[in-house]
């Protein structure tokens, strides 16, 4: 009877403990949300109006920008009047930037010119756009004319958003002293001056164009709309779009209080899954999907370190991975993350059942800082979510290496 009474007495405790375990299983405690300190590149917005016309052509040049981090920005315009690769004018002046958006007017004579607009944020990251201005002599099939050029109306919506970015593009036109006979779209991916796609593929369409384009990678593109009239007069107009980084992952990158030439590059990088979905990273020596780069302020690549190990990472909701480099040791700390490796045992065998966190340290030679200057760290992750493959690039704040 005493044993029975003792058993009955502990039943409520067993029941409560079981309920606690079940509640922890059904409602696991998620890791704390990390506060990102990475830096997004600003987005330059360069508008030339008009972009083409008869000589002499008075064109307005307007440059401003946006920044996801709400940082202050500076602006610079450079003009190559003959499209010969030589910069003929810099506004405000060579080597300097304006603290305000630039709004100026310049006159262009017959020929082609390239106008570059650069925006720089307070942490040194830059964004550049360029537009070609085309100026011709007024002719009608080779003969002098007073033809009034047609008006091109180009619309693109939206002009920015996370990739893959789906945009609707519409091109129409009017002509005050004739008729519009042709329409054409040109797409310059990367805004490097190379036309990557034409609609239609050759010649002009006799009808206005309305189409949908999907931009499947991070970066800028410029969309040109060209309208032609019955006297072979052409008007070109362009709009720039930006396919932005996805915000599925948040990163926090911390550096040592100070660095000197010869020091080991000690730092920590923490990455967290911002979504309610599982993010998967499959890495191998043949196909590394995790890497980080050390880059000088002027864009010079110091090193590019790709992880050579074969492993599978599953990041659950709010799942967090932290890598801490200290001299010749790297420590991996995880929470709500499952890592399976062919080289080392899984860090946790019940990844999806219970909240957990653990860490593991291994030897790593690390990197040495060999030159004074300003640097930033760039981390790259290629991952899959909901059956789709993505890539995210995250830039740290700048840090200094003293002599």
Which H helix or E strand runs over 20?
Answer: helix 2-26
The pTM of the whole model exceeds 0.95:
no
| pLDDT value of residue 143 | 61
Name the pLDDT band for 335 (thresholds 50, 70, 90): confident
Domain coordinates in residue numbering, the chain: 43-244, 249-402
d(CA 255, CA 40): 18
- Per-residue pLDDT, averaged over 30-44, amounts to 75
Name the pLDDT band for 342 (thresholds 50, 70, 90): low
What does the block give as tokens for 358? 């653990």
The DSSP-derived string for 42-81 is PEEEEEEE-SEEESSEEEEEEEEEE-TT---EEEEEEEET
Three-state DSSP class for residue 384: strand
pLDDT tens-digit readout, 52-110: 888 899 999 999 988 877 888 999 999 999 999 999 999 998 778 999 999 999 999 99
* Average pLDDT along the chain: 84
d(CA 92, CA 46): 15
d(CA 42, CA 22): 47
Beta bridge partners of 171: 154, 209
Share of the chain above pLDDT 70, in %: 86
Number of C-beta neighbours around residue 27 at 10 A:
9
| pLDDT value of residue 193 | 81
Half-sphere exposure for 25 (CA within 13 Å, toward CB): 8
pLDDT tens-digit readout, 129-147: 899 999 988 766 556 567 8
- Could you tell me which of 213, 226, 216, 214 has the C-alpha nearest to residue 169? 213
pLDDT tens-digit readout, 7-17: 444 444 444 44
Beta bridge partners of 379: 292, 394
d(CA 395, CA 200): 38
Three-state DSSP class for residue 17: helix
d(CA 333, CA 56): 65
Do 43-244 and 249-402 agree at the fold level? yes
pLDDT tens-digit readout, 186-225: 999 988 888 999 999 999 999 999 999 999 988 889 999 9
User: What's the CATH number for 249-402?
Assistant: 2.60.40.10
More confident residue, 218 or 360: 218
Beta bridge partners of 333: 322, 359
d(CA 318, CA 61): 45
- Per-residue pLDDT, averaged over 317-339, amounts to 87
Is domain 43-244 in CATH 2.60.40.10, yes or no?
yes
Which H helix or E strand runs over 13?
Answer: helix 2-26
Share of the chain above pLDDT 90, in %: 48
Per DSSP, 328 falls in state T
Q: What is the CA radius of gyration of the chain?
A: 29
| pLDDT value of residue 208 | 97
Burial of 69 (0-12, 13-18, 19+ CB in 10 A): middle
pLDDT surpasses 50 at 356: no
| pLDDT value of residue 88 | 95
């Amino acid at each position: 009877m005493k044993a029975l009474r003792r058993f009955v007495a502990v039943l409520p405790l067993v029941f409560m403990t079981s309920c606690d375990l079940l509640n922890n299983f059904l409602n696991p405690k998620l890791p704390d949300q990390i506060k990102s300190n990475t830096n997004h590149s600003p987005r330059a917005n360069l508008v030339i109006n008009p972009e083409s016309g008869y000589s002499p052509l008075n064109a307005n040049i307007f440059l401003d920008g946006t920044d996801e981090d709400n940082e202050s920005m500076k602006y610079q315009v450079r003009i190559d009047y003959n499209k010969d690769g030589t910069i003929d004018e810099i506004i405000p002046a060579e080597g300097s930037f304006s603290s305000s958006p630039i709004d100026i007017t310049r006159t262009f004579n017959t020929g082609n010119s390239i106008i570059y607009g650069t925006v720089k944020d307070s942490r040194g990251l830059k964004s550049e756009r360029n537009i070609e201005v085309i100026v011709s002599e007024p002719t009608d099939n080779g003969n002098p004319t007073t033809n009034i050029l047609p008006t091109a109306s180009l619309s693109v919506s939206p002009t920015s958003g996370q990739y893959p970015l789906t945009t609707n593009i519409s091109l129409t036109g009017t002509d005050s002293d004739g008729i519009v006979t042709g329409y054409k779209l040109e797409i310059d991916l990367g805004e490097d001056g190379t036309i990557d796609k034409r609609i239609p593929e050759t010649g002009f369409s006799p009808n206005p164009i309305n189409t949908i384009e999907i931009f499947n990678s991070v970066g800028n593109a410029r969309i040109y709309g060209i309208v032609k009239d019955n006297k072979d007069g052409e008007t070109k107009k362009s709009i720039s779009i930006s396919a932005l980084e996805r915000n599925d992952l948040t990163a926090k990158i911390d550096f040592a209080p100070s660095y000197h030439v010869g020091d080991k590059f000690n730092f920590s990088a923490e990455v967290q899954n911002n979504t309610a979905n599982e993010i998967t990273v499959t890495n191998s020596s043949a196909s590394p999907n995790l890497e980080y780069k050390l880059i000088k302020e002027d864009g010079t690549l110091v090193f590019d370190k790709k992880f050579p190990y074969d492993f599978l990472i599953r990041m659950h909701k709010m799942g967090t991975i932290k890598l801490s480099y200290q001299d010749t040791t790297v420590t991996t700390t995880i929470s709500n993350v499952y890592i399976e490796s062919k080289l080392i045992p899984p860090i946790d065998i019940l990844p999806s059942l219970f909240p957990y966190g653990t860490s593991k340290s291994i030897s790593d030679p690390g990197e040495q800082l060999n030159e004074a200057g300003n640097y930033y760290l760039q981390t790259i992750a290629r991952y899959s979510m909901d059956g789709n493959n993505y890539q995210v690039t995250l830039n740290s704040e700048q840090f200094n290496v003293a002599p």
